């Protein structure tokens, strides 16, 4: 019935079904979930009612599109449920498999105000988004599983003024994000009451990424074996009421964002320890890798855009003084050969720090590309304690191939401008090395707090 009140409607989908059937009983079931979704869309808004798509055990194609005018109906809640398997972490028996129809880039898509309840379903394989929710839609997630099998990109994508609630399930083996929130998303993980009832994210470059004003609760979530467990970026907020982070490159990265109740976070210990538990930066840019010369992390911790790499911040500042007159910060293989050989391409190294003890003699900052010196910069003698400085070195490819121009300057102190031409070998990936130094026989100290490479 179109545009009027009606009782709840159930459509049945079975592995031995027929997409030409009516789908109203298990014996006349449809073959694909996508076909049932198309029937739901075609029905138009139905007030004071809801629909259920009952999916039997078996394998089904993706391309399940929940879009269109249905989104404005009152109480228009679509439930898509598989056979009950006893809750988390039991694996669902109804599988949406990318291999069943590789042409579909998404498993399920809900756009434009749609409300959808997913329960006891599995998504498997190389979907760009296993579940993609956008534009003021609502998602309830109950014991659903995503296995990207090392080729799928995003498990749950929630974008643009959406709300989602999660209880149970496993999201694993994606090439980008387990869960991606972007642009004014509200999350709720407070349905579960224990770790045994809540979602597990594992084996992804980023477990959960929230960017641009995303907020809400995170209760009893487990993230393990990821590059970065959880990343908050761009004025996002998380109220952490029991979060378990184990065996990640970085457990929790907070970039120009806020977290509450961090005392409830359980960082792994012993064999479950993260390579680094917590990173905090006050910049709004995304991060791609972390680590100092003697402790660089092997895994890339995020895969976003700028800066290409950031080191330091408030936990691993590099101090330089008379007892430790040299500090080395190495950003391994961050300058990718394929990016910087065309005319007009460029990258920039930014070094930030502060003088902590008045310099009796000038301090130096050498910025190198492996063994090639890009710039030799100076923080002048008699610079007062408390003076913050920022050094910039920009390398521009002047013509295709290997001819570069370098411009360098130090802000915050009266430093010399460096401008010269270089011929650098950019046929291979190169590492950036920053060496800070002071005179070991004279008073003076400084701290290198961050090193960034932009490109």
> Domain ranges in the chain?
9-281, 309-454
Altogether, the residues listed in the chain come to a count of 455
Is the pLDDT reported for residue 190 higher than 70?
yes
The dotted CATH code for 9-281 is 2.160.20.10
- Only one residue has tokens 């379903």, namely 121
So what's the pLDDT on residue 415?
Answer: 60
Is the pLDDT reported for residue 401 higher than 60?
yes
So what's the pLDDT on residue 24?
Answer: 96
So what's the pLDDT on residue 235?
Answer: 85
DSSP 8-state code for residue 321:
S
The answer to whether 195 touches 242, Cβ cutoff 8 Å, is yes
What is the SS3 assignment for 35?
helix
Residue-by-residue DSSP string for 159-221 = ESS-EEEEEEEEEE--SSEEEEEESS-EEE--S-SSGGGS-EEESSSEEEEEESS-EEEEEEE
pLDDT tens column, 266-323 = 999 999 998 878 877 654 343 333 332 223 333 333 333 334 444 443 334 567 777 7
100 — pLDDT class (breaks 50, 70, 90): very high
186 — pLDDT class (breaks 50, 70, 90): very high
Within this chain, domains 9-281 and 309-454 share the same CATH topology: no
Is the pLDDT reported for residue 426 higher than 60?
yes
Which strands, in side-by-side order, build the sheet including 228-233?
A: 64-66, 106-111, 129-134, 154-159, 177-182, 206-211, 228-233, 250-255, 276-281
So what's the pLDDT on residue 297?
Answer: 32
pLDDT tens column, 69-89 = 544 444 567 999 999 998 888
Question: pLDDT: is 440 or 128 the higher one?
Answer: 128
- N- to C-terminal Cα separation, the chain: 56
So what's the pLDDT on residue 31?
Answer: 98
So what's the pLDDT on residue 282?
Answer: 54
Instruction: Give the domain 309-454 fold.
Output: Jelly Rolls (2.60.120)
Is the pLDDT reported for residue 216 higher than 70?
yes
pLDDT tens column, 349-388 = 888 888 888 888 888 888 888 888 888 888 888 888 888 8
So what's the pLDDT on residue 304?
Answer: 31
Distance CA 206, CA 225 (A): 10
Distance CA 202, CA 207 (A): 7
What is the SS3 assignment for 33?
helix
């Amino acid at each position: 019935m179109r545009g009027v009140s009606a009782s709840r409607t159930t459509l049945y989908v079975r592995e031995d079904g027929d997409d030409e059937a009516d789908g109203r009983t298990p014996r006349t079931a449809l073959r694909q979930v996508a076909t049932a979704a198309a029937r739901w869309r075609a029905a138009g808004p139905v007030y004071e009612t809801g629909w259920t798509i009952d999916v039997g055990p078996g394998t089904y194609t993706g391309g399940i599109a929940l879009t269109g005018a249905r989104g404005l109906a009152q109480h228009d809640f679509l439930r898509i449920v598989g056979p009950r398997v006893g809750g988390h972490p039991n694996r669902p028996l109804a599988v949406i498999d990318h291999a069943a129809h590789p042409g579909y880039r998404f498993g399920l898509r809900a756009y434009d105000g749609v409300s959808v309840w997913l329960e006891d379903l599995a998504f498997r394989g190389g979907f760009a988004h296993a579940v993609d929710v956008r534009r003021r839609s609502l998602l309830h997630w109950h014991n659903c599983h995503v296995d990207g099998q090392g080729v799928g990109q995003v498990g749950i994508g929630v974008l643009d003024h959406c709300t989602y609630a999660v209880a149970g399930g496993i999201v694993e083996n994606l090439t980008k994000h387990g869960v991606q929130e972007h642009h004014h998303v509200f999350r709720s993980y407070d349905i579960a009451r224990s770790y045994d009832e809540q979602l597990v994210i594992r084996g992804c470059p980023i477990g959960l990424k929230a960017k641009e004003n995303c907020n809400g609760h995170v209760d009893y979530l487990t993230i393990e074996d990821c590059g970065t467990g959880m990343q908050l970026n761009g004025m996002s907020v998380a109220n952490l009421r029991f979060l378990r982070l184990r065996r990640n490159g970085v457990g929790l990265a907070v970039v120009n964002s806020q977290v509450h109740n961090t005392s409830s976070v359980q960082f792994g210990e012993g064999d479950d320890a993260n390579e680094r538990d917590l990173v905090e930066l006050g910049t709004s840019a995304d991060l791609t890798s972390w680590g100092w010369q003697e402790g660089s992390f092997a895994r890339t911790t995020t895969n976003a855009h700028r800066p290409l790499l950031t080191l330091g911040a408030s936990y691993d500042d590099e101090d330089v003084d008379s007892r430790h007159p040299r500090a080395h910060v190495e950003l391994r293989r961050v300058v990718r050969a394929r990016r910087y050989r065309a005319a007009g391409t460029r990258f920039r190294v930014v070094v930030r720090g502060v003088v902590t003890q008045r310099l009796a003699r000038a301090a130096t900052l050498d910025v190198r590309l492996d063994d090639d010196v890009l710039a030799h910069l100076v923080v002048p003698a008699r610079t007062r304690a408390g003076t913050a400085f920022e050094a910039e070195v920009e390398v521009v490819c002047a013509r295709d191939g290997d001819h570069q121009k370098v411009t360098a300057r130090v802000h915050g102190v009266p430093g010399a401008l460096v401008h010269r031409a270089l011929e650098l070998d950019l046929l291979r990936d190169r590492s950036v090395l920053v060496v800070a130094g002071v005179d070991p026989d004279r008073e003076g100290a400084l701290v290198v707090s961050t090193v960034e490479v932009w490109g």
